[in-house]
A and B are shown apart, each in its own frame.
Chain A
Amino acid sequence: GAVVSQHPSWVICKSGTSVKIECRSLDFQATTMFWYRQFPKQSLMLMATSNEGSKATYEQGVEKDKFLINHASLTLSTLTVTSAHPEDSSFYICSAPQRALDQPQHFGDGTRLSIL
């Protein structure tokens, strides 16, 4: 069964709307979660690392004021795309590593965001 739950799966919004995406670890605690974005026919690109109880670490070129990340508990990280525009339309996906180093990261199902 799924170990990482991501919600919602699909979002269609008007330009200017802010959209919140949730990523939950099920049955395990995740002090770190990762947020990726994937444009059509391109690879997953890491946007930021979400750290429980502290500020997220953003990759170069990712606007932290545009993509707000909150990791307030050991099982939940949220990504808010603020004032979304059509160019923000993409597939957003989170991952959470389990504590055991030999366990792979688990990915959420992803959120397909379409901004009209």
Chain B
Amino acid sequence: RKEVEQDPGPFNVPEGATVAFNCTYSNSASQSFFWYRQDCRKEPKLLMSVYSSGNEDGRFTAQLNRASQYISLLIRDSKLSDSATYLCVVSPYGGATNKLIFGTGTLLAVQP
């Protein structure tokens, strides 16, 4: 079983749609969780950290369920510029100074 699993997609949605991505992780002791965005042939960029209480940043909402070892990302009012691969990332040992385990990513294509 992979340490971090995601639906690879692609998710093809129209502009303005709401789309949700899910992710599961295998190590119950994992400490830190993130969503990164990766554009084609580019480096990953942090989208947001994920906290147990849930957090929101504009059109983006992230949720963490430790009991189910499940992470989600919700994007509301999709824009064309949201088209990218969204990576679910887990840090097994916590803190930003430790290694990151990446999911395979979910490809989002927002259509005009």
Contact = CB atoms under 8 A, between A and B. Distances in A.
A95 B100 contact: yes
A109 interface: yes
A34 B87 CA distance: 17
Contacts of A91: 41
B99 A100 contact: no
B87 A43 contact: yes
B44 to A, nearest CB: 6
Contact of A103 (B43, B87, B96): B96
Contact of A101 (B87, B97, B104): B97
Contact of A97 (B42, B96, B103): B96
Contacts of B69: none
B99 A43 contact: no
> DSSP majority for the B interface?
loop
Given A43-B105, A101-B95, A104-B34, A34 B43 contact: no
A36 to B, nearest CB: 8
B101 interface: yes
A99 interface: yes
A89 B96 CA distance: 29
Interface residues on B, range: 20 to 34
B46 interface: yes
B107 to A, nearest CB: 9
B70 interface: no
Given A43-B87, A46-B101, A107 B45 contact: yes
Interface in A39-65: 42-46, 49
Interface in A65-107: 91, 93, 95, 97-105, 107
25 contacts: A34-B100, A36-B102, A42-B104, A43-B4, A43-B87, A43-B104, A44-B87, A44-B102, A46-B99, A46-B100, A93-B43, A95-B100, A97-B97, A101-B97, A104-B34, A104-B46, A104-B49, A104-B96, A105-B46, A105-B96, A107-B44, A109-B42, A109-B43, A110-B42, A112-B41
Interface of A: 32, 34, 36, 42-46, 49, 91, 93, 95, 97-105, 107-110, 112
